[in-house]
Amino acid sequence: MSGKTEAAARARRDSYHHGNLRQGLIEAALAIVAEQGLAAVTLRACASRAGVSHAAPAHHFGNLQGLLSELAAVAFRRFHATIAAEQAAAGPDPRAQLAAAGCGYLRFATANPDLFRLMFSAGRLDWTNTTLAEASRAAYRQLADTVRPFQRDPDDEEEGVRLRTLVWSMVHGYAHLLLEGYLAQHGVSADGLSHLPDIAALLPYPPSDG
Amino acid sequence: MSGKTEAAARARRDSYHHGNLRQGLIEAALAIVAEQGLAAVTLRACASRAGVSHAAPAHHFGNLQGLLSELAAVAFRRFHATIAAEQAAAGPDPRAQLAAAGCGYLRFATANPDLFRLMFSAGRLDWTNTTLAEASRAAYRQLADTVRPFQRDPDDEEEGVRLRTLVWSMVHGYAHLLLEGYLAQHGVSADGLSHLPDIAALLPYPPSDG
DNA sequence: GCCTCCATCTTTCCATTGTCAAGATTTGCG
DNA sequence: CGCAAATCTTGACAATGGAAAGATGGAGGC
């Protein structure tokens, strides 16, 4: 399979210049992570999959960390889109929006565990990468927007920080423990959504309908 | 420094048999992770630090995963002990015990970020390792004991699962986001404990004193 | 249209790591 | 005391990251 896709990649390319290698390497990385996991994403594996020599990625990404950072940026954007899609399908009620965000968070994490792990392995990433930094900020803004209706005072930044931290900790902790298998290990059902905390019920100022 | 400790390790050992190499390699791994981080813990680095050849660890641990699993077992025991120490210093009130457990969780995570990361990278570990599995179970029992007083019905396993999952998600999520730097990245103070959620205040059945 | 420079690749090499196999050495048990 | 097992050492190979030197093509300027 792998040999075949490499042959196909080379067959499609009869010129020294790939033409769009940067994007091709990112797509190769996405394919490898989906098929074989994050550990299989190496510079040589991506180069081979894209049909170039092993040193070609260096020109576009500098090193493996650079490539992984681009991969994480794509992951953050897909993550944001997954949550947005869940929220678009939910009612406008803040409780429904919050629940939808939680569902989206979990859906993305369970559907893409290795991308999720990469996203939250900050030390492996290059945060000077503006694409990555912006994608991460956009995801945080999405959380902030979802939580703001639960603030007593929407202009109180300290209250906002406290609520955002609370909500994010709960959802992220649950997602992380779930996909690492620690909940299943201790007898909690592995059915992803069944034990997702009902965050809205726990927040100190739940806005009522209207 | 490293060359010196290796020379010292070899100097102390004038026999072909190390004598207690298994323990020596674990100690070497602990030293390396503390000084240089988890990525620096390799079979060769540990072997060198312990004063033996690169292939010696295989006899005791099978492979790198085996060594990392023993390292994680030690980490889980230290983690449990940190929480126990915090709880020993707190009052017997369930709220105080819960708060102490949260503090201990955070203290361990911030003092030992790379051991914490290893502990919660389940896929890197060998769960057939009984030492590791037991240490992980003991930590979960500690959580269960701390949360039980908040159950309306201590014999209701489903309520117990729900509360343990809720509490663990909150504390773990906060710790993970904090040590990966994501809270600081989005403007939340990096002071570890300042934004740790007051879990007891959020639980649906907080036991009062007595 | 040609030339030059830059971007984009290829090839080669080195260091490091994990792991395996073969063999050496020591220890413990019968 | 001898033997088997445990515990190491030595050597080798494959894979990976990354650097350096060089090759190739494209674009822009004259």
User: For the segment A130-177, what is each residue's pLDDT rounded down to a tens digit?
Assistant: 999 999 999 999 999 999 999 999 999 999 999 999 999 999 999 999
> In terms of domains, do A72 and A138 share one?
yes
Q: Which structural domain, as residue segments, surrounds residue B68?
A: 64-202
What integer pLDDT is reported at residue B168 of this predicted model?
A: 96
What integer pLDDT is reported at residue B164 of this predicted model?
A: 94
> In terms of domains, do B13 and B116 share one?
no
Instruction: Flag if B186 and A137 touch (Cβ within 8 Å).
Output: yes
> In terms of domains, do A138 and A73 share one?
yes
> In terms of domains, do B83 and B160 share one?
yes
> In terms of domains, do A196 and A135 share one?
yes
pLDDT per residue over A7-17, tens digit each? 555 545 677 88
pLDDT per residue over A61-89, tens digit each? 999 999 999 999 999 999 999 999 999 99
> In terms of domains, do A141 and A41 share one?
no
| B165 touches A: beta carbon within 8 Å | yes
> In terms of domains, do B20 and B68 share one?
no
Asked if pLDDT for residue A125 goes beyond 60, the answer is yes
Instruction: Please indicate, yes or no, if residue A138 is contained in any of the structural domains.
Output: yes
Q: Which structure tokens are listed for A39?
A: 């550990």
What integer pLDDT is reported at residue A77 of this predicted model?
A: 98
Asked if the Cβ of residue B190 lies within 7 A of any atom of strand D, the reply is no
pLDDT interval class at B3 (50, 70, 90): very low
CATH of the domain at B110: 1.10.357.10
| B184 touches A: beta carbon within 8 Å | no
Q: Which of residues B29, B46, B61 is at a domain's end?
A: B61
* Overall number of domains in chain A: 2
- Interval A46-74 mean pLDDT: 97
Instruction: Please indicate, yes or no, if residue B125 is contained in any of the structural domains.
Output: yes
Asked if pLDDT for residue A204 goes beyond 80, the answer is no
- Window 128-157 of A, Cβ < 8 Å to B: 136-137, 140
pLDDT interval class at B55 (50, 70, 90): very high
Spacing of B16 CA from C26 C1' in Å = 7
Asked if pLDDT for residue A203 goes beyond 90, the answer is no
Q: Which of residues A40, A61, A82 is at a domain's end?
A: A61
**Nucleotides on chain D within 7 angstroms of protein Cβ:** 6-12, 15-21, 24-26
Q: Which of residues B61, B94, B112 is at a domain's end?
A: B61
> In terms of domains, do B46 and B82 share one?
no
Query: What's the whole-model pTM score?
Result: 0.92
